[in-house]
Amino acid sequence: MAVEGSLGTTFHISAGIPATEDQAGYEALTFTKVGEITTLGEIGGVWNNATATLLETGTIIKRKSSRDNGDLSMQMLKDTTDAGQIIMRAAEDSRDPYSIKAVEPDGTSHYSQALVNSYRVATNTAEDMKFANADVAVTADWVEVAAP
């Protein structure tokens, strides 16, 4: 069984957009690691379905239609001095997409572009740490690069 853990996963952000949406384009950018992440979310997209219901039988016909490259629902310990979180806050104030990179513990990298739609501070109970939550809407196809 090839079960993998999440420990060691990192997330990075860049204000730059690649000249080409492939490994070379993304690797030419400078990324900054976002620190103190506790939850990253799901990497990957999902196909939507076009449907039609036949009047004669009531059968629903489905075909793949558009593809949504997903959203990341991130949580991190709030750190006002972390360079990556500073860029995340700047991205939330911008209407422009930023480049993102997630690196798995085995070294596999996932690149894309995204809009940072929120960066909110979560204050819960006296027993909790202060968190920042970010909603990241992926706007480009994911590019996966196998571990070196």
Count: domains in the chain? 1
pTM here is: 0.89
First to last CA, the chain: 22
Q: Are strands 131-138 and 71-77 parallel, antiparallel or unpaired?
A: antiparallel
3-state class of 20 per DSSP? coil
* Nearby residues of 107 by Cβ (< 8 Å), 6 or more positions away: 147, 148
Which mean pLDDT values do the consecutive 10-residue runs of the chain (148 residues) have?
87 97 98 97 94 97 96 96 97 97 96 97 87 96 94
Q: Which residue type, as a one-letter code, is found at position 126? A: A
Instruction: Tell whether 5 is covered by a domain.
Output: no
Q: Which residues contact 25 (CB under 8 A, 6 or more apart)?
A: 18, 19
- Report yes or no on 44 lying in a domain: yes
Domain assignment present for 18: yes
